[in-house]
């Protein structure tokens, strides 16, 4: 690579902060811009641009006027709405799948039909476009029943119904609120894992595995959220189970992308659950996850910017190298999240320390101080030699702070460590 790269990252969350941070560390990169970004990113040398992630016209104008080499798309809404198609039409390099391929995340029904065609193991399911038909079908489904809204829901469109009354209420509420389609799925038991594949037409590479924590409260209680914490690696996952995930899930999924001529250049996230009968797919996403990105990228020894550059230029991506360490991230959220998050929390006490990174999300600077703007506020990520040390370091850091108006889970990493793994 002769000249240094000037890059644009689209998005505003902690995931995008971690992506920008990773790009800035590359010896091949001179400048990293983020649109719209957030005020917390400025602390780490990221240049934020006041442009919406859906303002494709002005984003393209910025890219052309500022000699941006390529754009990396963080959030799903921009991908589903066709940012990649729009950029490519103007001959601009952009990392992410087309709007058609993004339906793997944008439509649960589309994704499940894709899995069925590709013989990718997943839950038994049924799709409905009419409320009365869905309500009638409830009598044929065992409990608990998983009901999913067919569309983007920011990780919060899933309801696990333990009884018929809850299922009826969920169906009625979703359709009455304008939902066009929903999906019933059988409830699967087992530990969940996040697997991220960087894909182009030449080959693919798998990033370090992670485990996300979706429920709001300790011991997987409370409503689903966008994610309350994550860690990597996942020492409780046996190598034989990992290999089964590659053979039975990753390879047929990649074959399916190519069979449909999706021209897929981006990340395919595969949400897996390891059941008693083997791994099954819960969902596809078409981008990096949040909060997994905050713990996966710090473990990558390979230059992330070079990896993405090779992917975009259709070079064969080199085998990835990982650091032999662990990273654990804890999301600090606003009280009331995900239903009615409060705002205005003082976040000025969050200062980075050795092996502690702060990836900001819904924050803003006011009178020179950082305050919360609702939802998930930031991720505290700790890196250490072992998972147990990373967990201790992250919680020790948080426990020293005054966190009025915030909450966090106190059991991130427990599923691995309870089995004696470190």
Mean pLDDT (whole number) for 90-99: 98
Interval 185-202: pLDDT, tens: 999 999 999 999 999 998
Question: How many CB atoms within 10 Å of residue 220?
Answer: 15
Residue 1 reports pLDDT greater than 60: no
Question: Residue 325's pLDDT band (boundaries 50, 70, 90)?
Answer: very high
Residues 6+ apart with CB under 8 A from 312: 70, 93, 95, 200, 265
Give the pLDDT band of residue 155 (cuts 50, 70, 90): low
Would you state the pLDDT for residue 44?
A: 94
Summarize pLDDT for 198-250 with one digit per residue, the tens.
999 989 999 999 999 999 999 999 988 999 999 999 999 999 999 999 999 99
Give yes or no for residue 320 having a pLDDT over 80.
yes
Determine the length of the chain. Answer: 422
What pLDDT, on the 0 to 100 scale, is given for residue 164? Answer: 95
Rounded Cα distance, 185 and 142, in Å: 10
Decide if 221 contacts 411 (C-beta within 8 A): no
pLDDT at residue 271 tops 70: yes
Residue 419 binned pLDDT confidence (cut-offs 50, 70, 90) = low
What are the structural domains of the chain? 5-97 (3.40.50.20), 124-186 (3.30.1490.20)
Per-residue pLDDT, 156 = 59
pLDDT tier for residue 418 given thresholds of 50, 70 and 90: confident
Confidence at residue 420, expressed as pLDDT on a 0 to 100 scale: 67
Share of residues in the chain with pLDDT > 90 (%): 92
Determine the Cα–Cα distance for residues 5 and 27; give it in Å rounded to an integer.
Answer: 9
Would you say residue 177 has pLDDT above 80? yes
φ and ψ of 181, to 5 deg: -155, 145
Q: Kindly report, residue by residue over 22-54, the tens digit of the pLDDT.
A: 999 999 999 999 999 999 999 999 999 999 999
Asked if residue 110 has pLDDT above 60, the reply is yes
> For the chain, how far is it from start to end, CA to CA, in angstroms?
39
Beta-bridge mates of residue 9:
34, 72
Tokens (6 digits) for 399: 């426990």
Closest CA to 328 of 360, 361, 287, 356: 356
């Amino acid at each position: 690579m002769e000249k240094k790269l000037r890059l644009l990252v689209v998005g505003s969350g902690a995931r995008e902060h971690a992506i920008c941070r990773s790009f800035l560390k590359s010896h091949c990169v001179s400048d990293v811009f983020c649109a719209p970004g957030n005020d917390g990113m400025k602390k780490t040398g990221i240049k934020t641009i006041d442009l919406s992630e859906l303002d494709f016209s002005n984003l393209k104008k910025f890219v052309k006027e500022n000699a941006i080499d390529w754009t990396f798309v963080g959030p799903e809404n921009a991908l589903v709405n066709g940012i990649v198609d729009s950029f490519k039409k103007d001959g601009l390099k952009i990392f992410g799948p087309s709007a058609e391929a993004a339906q793997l995340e944008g439509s649960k029904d589309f994704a499940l039909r894709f899995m069925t065609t590709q013989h990718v193991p997943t839950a038994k399911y049924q799709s409905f476009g009419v409320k009365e038909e869905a309500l009638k079908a409830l009598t044929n489904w065992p409990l608990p029943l998983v009901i999913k809204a067919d569309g983007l829901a920011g990780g919060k469109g899933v309801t696990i119904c333990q009884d018929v009354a809850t299922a009826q209420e969920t169906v009625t509420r979703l359709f009455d609120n304008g939902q066009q389609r929903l999906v019933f799925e059988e409830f699967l038991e087992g530990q969940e894992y996040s697997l991220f594949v960087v894909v182009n037409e030449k080959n693919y590479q798998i990033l370090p595995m992670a485990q996300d924590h979706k429920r709001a409260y300790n011991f997987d209680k409370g409503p689903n959220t966008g994610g309350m914490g994550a860690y990597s690696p996942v020492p409780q996952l046996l190598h034989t189970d990992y290999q089964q995930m590659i053979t039975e899930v990753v390879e047929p999924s990649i074959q399916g992308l190519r069979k449909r001529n999706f021209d897929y250049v981006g990340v395919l996230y595969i949400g897996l659950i390891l059941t008693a009968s083997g791994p099954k797919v819960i969902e596809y996403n078409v981008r990096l996850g949040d909060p997994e990105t905050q713990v996966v990228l710090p473990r990558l020894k390979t230059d992330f910017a070079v990896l993405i550059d090779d992917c975009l230029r259709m070079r064969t991506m080199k085998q990835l190298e990982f650091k032999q360490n662990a990273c654990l991230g804890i999301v600090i959220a606003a009280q009331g999240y995900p239903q009615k998050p409060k705002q205005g929390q003082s976040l000025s006490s969050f200062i980075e320390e050795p092996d502690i990174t702060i990836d900001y999300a819904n924050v803003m600077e006011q009178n020179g101080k950082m305050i919360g703007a609702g939802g998930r506020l930031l991720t505290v990520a700790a890196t250490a030699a072992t998972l147990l040390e990373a967990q201790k370091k992250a919680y020790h850091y948080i426990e020293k702070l005054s966190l009025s108006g915030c909450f966090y889970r106190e059991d991130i990493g427990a599923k691995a460590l309870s089995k004696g793994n470190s």
